[in-house]
Structure 1
């Protein structure tokens, strides 16, 4: 996969938008410069079954119109059914081998990692990218692991792991710089965009942060 896909990685479901229409929030985020979208329909009040699938298809169509890759969180069967660009799985989800066998060839697989050991194993089995976190405290995920901060990304890079990395967990425009400087290719955010007064402005701010880091390190 292309590393630049991870630059501004927006994660969202219907329960993350403070009552706003998720389709409008996604469109604004795209207008602001997000580079990849993950459909994560979880939490109290989340859609299930056919309603979830139809909702995913609506968001996928918006992404398709703007050439934004569409990733599905955890739901392997639905990802294949709606022809998503890939899936993202956690350490507690189905095994990588199980997932790979069920996906259409060419679909991306991202894996959540929290330690150097988990990152090394993800690379060994063939993950296309890894999501490392939580970078900072977040209330979005109820099953949050211990906050490791950007240092864990630095440790992963020092271990010689070169796979694309996106930092996730409590990331804001104010602390994104530290995550990128530690060796991440991008930042994954939920509420910093989905619950912003202006999702387009929030996405633009993250895009500018990425560009600034690239210029500084270029």
Structure 2
């Protein structure tokens, strides 16, 4: 999969369509509290939209639908890993990224040889209540040392102003949710993120 320094995360395909033409190259569709029918429809729409704009789509959680619908990348939380058929994903050439928050979760994630590891929240975030406090840039640097060649995605409380520190600490990619969702003009904010990350080289990664 193509891993861009700017990783847009949206909660619905309706939020995705107006942002794709702004230079987005990597996007995750994170659907919560949707019906099975709506979930399927939105993944299909996102798949087709991203294909038209040459954007890498990552499906959050729904790895079985990703398999069925011909998507080539998924993101999985630790709880999702318990019920995921990783061999089926590999056979279908579907890349997968994995969330981590502590040492045990990092070791578990790296044992699956993921396309990337995500660490968060780096800074305080309004997205949802979490049992983990802000990880901070020192943890980002420690994670990158331990990940070695596996790309590291930072998520949580990120802004364009915090981007230089995040990348200096070793992150390869900045995943952005609320800074765009809560912006007065999500399109303008997305364009600012695209501009802020264009000085960093995109990566091409694949699961072994």
Scaled by the length of structure 1, what TM-score is found? Answer: 0.81
In the alignment, structure 1 segments of 5+ residues that lack a partner are: 15-21
| Contact 1:112/1:131 (<8 A) preserved | yes
CA positional deviation for 1:210: 1.8
Give the 4+ runs in structure 1 shifted more than 6 A: none
CA positional deviation for 1:132: 1.0
- Match status 1:90 vs 2:77: yes
In the alignment, structure 2 segments of 5+ residues that lack a partner are: 202-208
User: What residue in structure 2 maps to residue 129 of structure 1?
Assistant: 116
Q: Which moved more, 1:138-147 or 1:182-191?
A: 138-147
Q: Separation in 1 of the partners of 2:29 and 2:190?
A: 17
Q: Find the residue that maps to 1:157 and give its secondary structure.
A: helix
Counterpart selection for 1:80 from 37, 52, 67: 67
Q: Separation in 1 of the partners of 2:87 and 2:4?
A: 24
Q: Which moved more, 1:102-111 or 1:65-74?
A: 102-111
User: What residue in structure 2 maps to residue 38 of structure 1?
Assistant: 28
User: What residue in structure 2 maps to residue 7 of structure 1?
Assistant: 5
Change (3 A) 1:159 1:77: closer
CA deviation map 1:147-185 (0-9, x unaligned)? 112221201223362211110111122222221221111
Change (3 A) 1:70 1:207: same
Supply the RMSD in Å over aligned alpha carbons.
2.2
User: What residue in structure 1 maps to residue 174 of structure 2?
Assistant: 187
Q: Separation in 2 of the partners of 1:160 and 1:201?
A: 33
The alignment covers a number of residue pairs equal to 200
Q: Separation in 2 of the partners of 1:209 and 1:128?
A: 24
Within 5 Å, which residues of 2 pair with 1:133-144?
133-143=120-130
User: What residue in structure 2 maps to residue 105 of structure 1?
Assistant: 92
- Match status 1:49 vs 2:27: no
| Contact 1:76/1:102 (<8 A) preserved | no
- Match status 1:171 vs 2:170: no
Scaled by the length of structure 2, what TM-score is found? Answer: 0.85
Change (3 A) 1:155 1:40: same
Q: Find the residue that maps to 2:65 and give its secondary structure.
A: helix
